[in-house]
Structure 1
Amino acid sequence: MDLRDTRRVTERHTRDGIVDTALALLEETGLPDLSMRRLAAALGVQPSALYWHFENKQSLLADVADRIVAAAADVPDASSGDARVTGLAFALRDALFSHRDGAEIVLSTQALGLGSDAARARLAAALGADGSAATVLLQFILGHASLVQQRIQAARFGAYPQGEAEVVAQTSADFAAGVRMILAGIPAGS
């Protein structure tokens, strides 16, 4: 084994390396089949080695969720208030869509109060509001993305009448309308 191989093996066994491998397995197997045992096998370690870095599977998934949310594109500060918030909402939605079962992972992590609060904080900053308005908008984003990802999965298996691209295109207009309705109902500074 040369130095590059040793470095790759070492990097795989860091917290970030484990999350990288978990994301790769997620794409391959989906959330239902992403187990600590399967992840350990992919890393070439015993499952107990993972617990050195993560207390349990949910804490691992919290880091995976944080990585998914962190990948959401930045929206230029120069955008007007509503355009900035809408752009950020779409960026978060797209980040959720960029990983198989991404919405479900982030939603369950949020439901359990695990992981960072980065998505809500980014929305609150864009809204120029307190956390309540950002929480409502984030819940809409997560719920909508979960519904769309379920339709996408069903379309892949032929159990939904539209194809994957059609599902995303059709639901984008619904998503934009929902964000507009939420923004229209949020009083300035709330």
Structure 2
Amino acid sequence: MDREAIVSAALHLLNETGLDGLTVRRLAERLDVKNPALYWHFPSKRALLDEMAQMLQARQDFGPPREGESWQQWLTRRGRDRRQILLSHRDAARLVAGTRAGPALIEKFEAELNALVAAGFTPGQALHAIGTITRYVNGFVLDEQAMAEHAAEAPQPPAGAFRATPTLAAAIQEAGDNDAAFEEGLRVLVAGIAARRRAKA
């Protein structure tokens, strides 16, 4: 049993139990080992969660823009990719929040910053641009996954629940589903980053 196998098993267990139900004891039972065997690989649950987050995020297509891809297209694709990665596991947005990136992810992040600097960003502007998109995606998926959990536990609103608030009902119908809402927010953020750069130039 190696670290990678433990982390992979922990991610599978996360889908079943959620983050609150994920314990070292349950993971040890899943792997048919005693708790101390896991602590030999990971000194704390926090260390295990960090590595789970790193393994999950490593599946994302990190790296600079592809040939012929503008930085705006790249940031948009990066945001979409990250959302899909986070939606692939229960409570993934909560899992990655506040975790340490690890050397491999930091190296890839360095290449991304360099690509934006080559496109005319300062290092600080590049950091803010990527960080803004990342935080937007994390927050959106956090809310998305929390609402999904709530919907599974609570009854749906009855038909005609929004009769007293017709503007809200029209807004919900026009705004579309989560995918549409996500895309709109992503467009606004990327356009805002571009406008900010033009203003500073």
TM-score w.r.t. structure 2 length?
Answer: 0.72
Mark the runs of 5 or more structure 2 residues left unpaired by the alignment: 158-175
RMSD of Structure 2 on Structure 1 (CA): 2.7
The answer (yes or no) to whether the contact 1:68–1:95 under 8 Å persists in 2 is yes
Partner of 1:31: 19
2:123 is equivalent to residue 145 of structure 1: no
Match of 2:78 among 85, 88, 106: 88
The answer (yes or no) to whether the contact 1:104–1:146 under 8 Å persists in 2 is yes
Q: Tell me which amino acid in the other structure corresponds to 2:145.
A: Q
Q: Tell me which amino acid in the other structure corresponds to 1:157.
A: E
Paired residues for 1:146-161 under 5 Å? 146-159=142-155
The answer (yes or no) to whether the contact 1:30–1:100 under 8 Å persists in 2 is yes
Q: Tell me which amino acid in the other structure corresponds to 1:150.
A: A
Between Structure 1 and Structure 2, how many residues are aligned?
167
Higher RCO structure (Cα 8 Å, ≥6 apart): 2
Q: Tell me which amino acid in the other structure corresponds to 2:189.
A: I
Q: Distance in 2 between matches of 1:21 and 1:89?
A: 27
Partner of 2:190: 183
- Per mean C-alpha deviation after superposition, the further-off stretch among 74-83 and 31-40 is 74-83
The answer (yes or no) to whether the contact 1:66–1:116 under 8 Å persists in 2 is yes
Larger CA Rg, structure 1 vs 2: 2
2:34 is equivalent to residue 46 of structure 1: yes
Q: Percent identity?
A: 33
TM-score w.r.t. structure 1 length?
Answer: 0.76
Secondary structure in 2 matching 1:30:
helix
